[in-house]
Amino acid sequence: MAQRSEANGATIPRLSLTQRLAVQDYAARASWPAGFQIYERGASADGVFVVVRGRVVLRSRVRAGRGFVPWVATPGETFGAEGLSPNGCYATDARADEETETLFLSTSKLRAFIREQPAHALAVIGQVMGERTVLLDKLRELTTLSVEQRLVAALRRMAANDCFAASDGRIELCSSRYRLLCEFVGATRESVSLVLGRLSGEGLVERCGSTLYVTPSARLFERLDDAGSPDDVVLVGGLADADVAPALQ
């Protein structure tokens, strides 16, 4: 099972090509154009999706034009696993962020997959559980880290994925990706702009027109440990404050 680095330095699973090919024999393959909404929050859920190509953004709508992104599923990762529970309903919206291909494994097909290819089926289940661990860690970040630390954690996740990289390896933040970054961090555009401005002053971020480029480096990611004072820490009781929920971009 392939892996990628996470924000805390750990690794999370990613289904290998061999494992995805095994899933393909039991799953329905689909292609989604950029911007297509695959499902909505509250809709009846069944089974689980695996991303083959592209990426899928899971978004929780807070109010008109605003949302929070808990997860961006990329090749070898899953989404929509709410469908594995009895009478499941989707907890977020799911939208293709670019042209995307997915495999959909229904619960009935999953049962057949488990019977006939248990090793590969357990890999899929392990993938889902590994991603759940990341979501739990992100919840910890939202309640204990400063905006700067959450931003650096989000950039580290993006750096681990080729989908967000320019040809020279830097993270490319165009206007749409900038909005995605704000929603992924869980902070206002103003808060994110202030942090990026500080990073730019230190030579860690470069602006080229309306696009920002971030160079992944040990000096940047060290800020996960060094950035922020105790006064900057977001506590559980403060999640409804203006810096997080009501003003999500």
Q: What CATH fold (topology level) applies to the domain 146-238?
A: Arc Repressor Mutant, subunit A (1.10.10)
Nearest to 129 by CA among 44, 39, 12, 20: 12
**Running along the chain, 249 residues long, what does each successive block of 10 average in pLDDT?**
50 85 96 97 97 95 79 95 95 96 97 97 95 90 90 87 79 89 89 92 89 88 64 40 39
Residue 62 pLDDT: 78
User: In this structure, what are the phi and psi dihedrals at residue 71, rounded to the nearest 5 degrees?
Assistant: -155, 140
Residue 11 pLDDT: 57
Q: Are 158 and 71 in contact (CB under 8 A)?
A: no
CA distances from 173 to 24, 152, 170 (A): 33, 14, 9
CA distances from 151 to 103, 199, 230 (A): 31, 11, 17
Nearest to 73 by CA among 26, 25, 131, 18: 131
Residue 218 pLDDT: 85
What's domain 2-140's architecture? Sandwich (2.60)
Residue 248 pLDDT: 38
Residue 65 pLDDT: 65
Spans of all domains in the chain = 2-140, 146-238
Residue 55 pLDDT: 93
Residue 88 pLDDT: 94
How many Cβ atoms sit within 10 Å of the Cβ of residue 167? Answer: 6
CA distance 63 to 26: 38
CA distance 7 to 136: 13
CA distance 164 to 25: 30
CA distance 182 to 177: 9
Q: Are 133 and 4 in contact (CB under 8 A)?
A: no
Residue 148 pLDDT: 92
User: In this structure, what are the phi and psi dihedrals at residue 22, rounded to the nearest 5 degrees?
Assistant: -65, -40
93 sits in which H/E element:
strand 93-96
Total residue count of the chain as it appears in this document? 249
